[in-house]
Amino acid sequence: MKRVIAISDMHCGHYGGLTPPRFQIQQARRPKLFQLQLEGWLKFEAMREEATNTKNEIILLDNGDNIDGNRFPHEQIVSDRREQCVMAEEVLNGFRAKHIVMTRGTPSHVGKEEDWEDNIAKDVGADIRSEQFIDVDGYKIYMRHKIGRSSVAHGKDSAPAKHTIWNQLKSAWKLEPGADMLLFGHVHYCHGSFDYFGNRKVDSMTLPALQTVSQYGIKECTGIVHFGMVYFDVEDGVKSNQHELIEVIQSAKPKEIIIS
């Protein structure tokens, strides 16, 4: 049996990104920002401890946007992408995974002229591609970072369903392996669905993020940010014991102005 852990969208370097303690901003300097980073890290650590609490071999699936890049320097605590990569590597190494499989994230974050996440993959010994087809003990997983998002709750199935059907069509034409599960990132919310193709159940899911809040999200996006990760076990081609670990980050809630 193998334990599969799936994460996405750490955005290391951003003030709301996942920030290991030695990189967190000083409490005396920015107390509210310090509390945001501390709360996010502590809840992440608790989730990682639960997900890695197994005697089974751990497979870590990392679905992109490990770093925030330098597109929005006014929102970053670290704009040097080399240092952002160091932060991300510290997070990934903490899972103690036997195998790490990565996808490349959004170019505006991880590099347009270069892929900074390739450096992370090299340092942690991971396999990285723009899309991944992974066979875990006979259970087949497709993983890609970017997917279309929906601002309405009832529309969140549309983009994963599209990719699921295309995967089945391409598989029928022997252009790519048919997946039992499709995993996506990018949208910062966790939403899953499944379809039956013949007698085979196919799951698809957008993964929660490990970034708490951003000005881009506040200004441009509508919905709920899910902070967390997903894990499940696989044995003889069968998935079991799936958990979606989602936390509410209280420090990310907006301040209410009270006028009396």
Q: List, for residues 7-49, the tens digit of each pLDDT value.
A: 999 999 999 999 999 999 999 899 999 999 999 999 999 999 9
Mind giving me the DSSP string for 97-164? -SEEEEE---HHHH-SSS-HHHHHHHHHT-EEESEEEEEETTEEEEEES-----SSGGGTTHHHHHHH
pLDDT-based confidence at 223, cuts 50/70/90? Answer: confident
Q: Distance between CA 50 and CA 74 in Å, rounded? A: 34
**What percent of the chain stands above pLDDT 70?**
100
pLDDT reported for residue 170: 96
pLDDT-based confidence at 198, cuts 50/70/90? Answer: confident
* Residue boundaries of the structural domains of the chain: 2-130+205-251
The whole-model pTM stands at: 0.95
Closest C-alpha among 233, 228, 189, 222 to residue 210: 228
pLDDT reported for residue 57: 98
Q: Are strands 227-235 and 2-7 parallel, antiparallel or unpaired?
A: antiparallel
Q: How far is CA 145 from CA 9, 100, 131, 207, in A?
A: 9, 15, 8, 9
Q: List, for residues 133-168, the tens digit of each pLDDT value.
A: 999 999 999 999 999 988 888 889 999 999 999 999
The chain-wide mean pLDDT, for the chain, equals 94
Closest C-alpha among 243, 52, 240 to residue 137: 240
pLDDT reported for residue 197: 80
pLDDT reported for residue 121: 98
Inform me whether the pLDDT recorded for 131 exceeds 90: yes
